[in-house]
A = this chain, B = another copy of it.
Amino acid sequence: MKALPTPPGHDTGAVTIYDVAAHAGVGIATVSRAMNGSAPVAEATRARVLAAVEELGFRPSHAGTSLAARTHAANGIVFPDLSGPYYAEVLLGYEETASQLGRSVLVLATHGRPDPASAVRDLAGRVDGMVLLGRTVSDEVIAGLAGLPVVVLARPELGDVDSVRTDGLTSARALGEHLAGHGLERVALLGSPEESPDVAERFLGIREGLGAHGIEPTQTPCLFDEASGTRVAATLLEGRRRPDALVCANDEIALGAIVAAEEAGLRVGHDIAITGWDDVMAARHARPALTTVRQPMRALGSLAAEVLDERITATRTTPRHELLATDLVVRDSCGLHP
């Protein structure tokens, strides 16, 4: 056996393709080909290489591969925040589909971060494409990602950027109609539509549904968490002309509102109707069970991964805008149904 080429430096502890090549008595090119099947390799040689790989426990350095192949084989996903069941489901669907497409997933939560824009840009340097949820970063930042495939989730369409959203309008109208059907009149909307275009859409639909019956709801700003829901609802309930329906921007606010209503001695579903949005697990276990709107969160994530992949692989070059249907889930918190 003649001397084989050895890497010049070769000082790290990690085993490289050179080690495998030496061990199998072949060149590094053959090792690469045998492992990736990128070109024909004699069966005997392949077996020898794979044996060496096994024996040495060779794991290709991703950086090397990525640099040479000019691809990261990774997708990013940027969340405003990760708390709550909503995002976890989206991530699950995303990761599942992305990994089926052979891509790793990098997550980034911008919440509470000093400079989200630079974090996003940094992420952009290590992925082949990314998904952005909601209003995490400004339109300018997205524009600055020029060239990088991007899909926005739960955010209004933005030029040629692909988008995946849920259709809140239809269910919101249905909810408004449903509430009007209960004979409710003093409806209060809880939430801050200016924080989220999705919420704005919901409120719009609800107004439409109620408006068809001549009802004009009031609107009170509220952060999207339970404690805020309790606080805001308590204030509303102690005022004169107490609302007979609290329509909340999400389930967390609604669950908080239920607490406030009970503390005020009201029977939810009888004296007052309360509704949420998202259908989190707690919604169906609350008593009375919460009337809400179910969003296909997992499908949302999965579809986003798919749409993104089409761009990355350049299978498609025209923008794609997807709208997923939502379901109104009527339970008892909006009034008893005989």
Residues of chain A at the chain B interface (Cβ within 8 Å): 12-14, 57, 59-64, 66-67, 70, 72, 74, 81-85, 87-89, 91-92, 95-96, 99, 104-109, 112-113, 119, 121-126, 144, 146-147, 226, 252, 255, 258, 280-282, 285-287
**Which partner residue on chain B sits nearest A11 by CB separation?**
B70
A258 to B122, CA, bound (A): 47
**Which partner residue on chain B sits nearest A113 by CB separation?**
B99
27 contacts between A and B (CB under 8 A): A57-B144, A60-B125, A61-B125, A62-B126, A63-B66, A66-B66, A67-B67, A82-B91, A83-B89, A83-B92, A84-B85, A84-B88, A85-B281, A88-B91, A92-B109, A95-B108, A99-B113, A104-B122, A104-B126, A105-B107, A105-B108, A252-B281, A280-B281, A280-B282, A281-B281, A282-B282, A286-B287
Instruction: Among B81, B108, B285, point to the contact of A285 (Cβ < 8 A).
Output: B285
Instruction: Known contacts A63-B63, A87-B88, A125-B62; decide if A82 and B95 are in contact (CB<8 Å).
Output: yes
A122 to B14, CA, bound (A): 15
A163 to B331, CA, bound (A): 44
- Please indicate the chain B residues that have their CB under 8 angstroms from the CB of A59 in the complex: 121-122, 124-125
User: Is B82 a contact of A85 with CB atoms below 8 Å?
Assistant: no
A108 to B89, CA, bound (A): 14
Closest 4 CB pairs of A and B: A287-B287, A88-B88, A62-B126, A282-B282
User: Is B57 a contact of A146 with CB atoms below 8 Å?
Assistant: yes
User: Is B74 a contact of A63 with CB atoms below 8 Å?
Assistant: no
- Please indicate the chain B residues that have their CB under 8 angstroms from the CB of A119 in the complex: 99
User: Is A106 a contact of B74 with CB atoms below 8 Å?
Assistant: yes
Instruction: Among B70, B72, B112, B282, point to the contact of A281 (Cβ < 8 A).
Output: B282
A99 to B61, CA, bound (A): 22
Q: A99-B109, A104-B122 are in contact. List 17 more A-B contacts (CB 8 A).
A: A14-B147, A59-B121, A61-B67, A81-B92, A83-B89, A84-B85, A87-B88, A95-B107, A99-B119, A104-B123, A105-B107, A106-B107, A252-B281, A281-B282, A285-B286, A286-B286, A287-B287
- Please indicate the chain B residues that have their CB under 8 angstroms from the CB of A122 in the complex: 59, 104
Closest beta carbon of chain B to A91's beta carbon, Å = 6
**Which partner residue on chain B sits nearest A60 by CB separation?**
B125
User: Is B82 a contact of A88 with CB atoms below 8 Å?
Assistant: yes
A104 to B108, CA, bound (A): 7
A32 to B95, CA, bound (A): 34
Choose among A13, A14, A84, A285 the residue with the greatest number of B CB atoms under 10 Å from its CB. Answer: A285
Instruction: Among B106, B124, B125, B285, point to the contact of A105 (Cβ < 8 A).
Output: B106
A14 to B121, CA, bound (A): 14
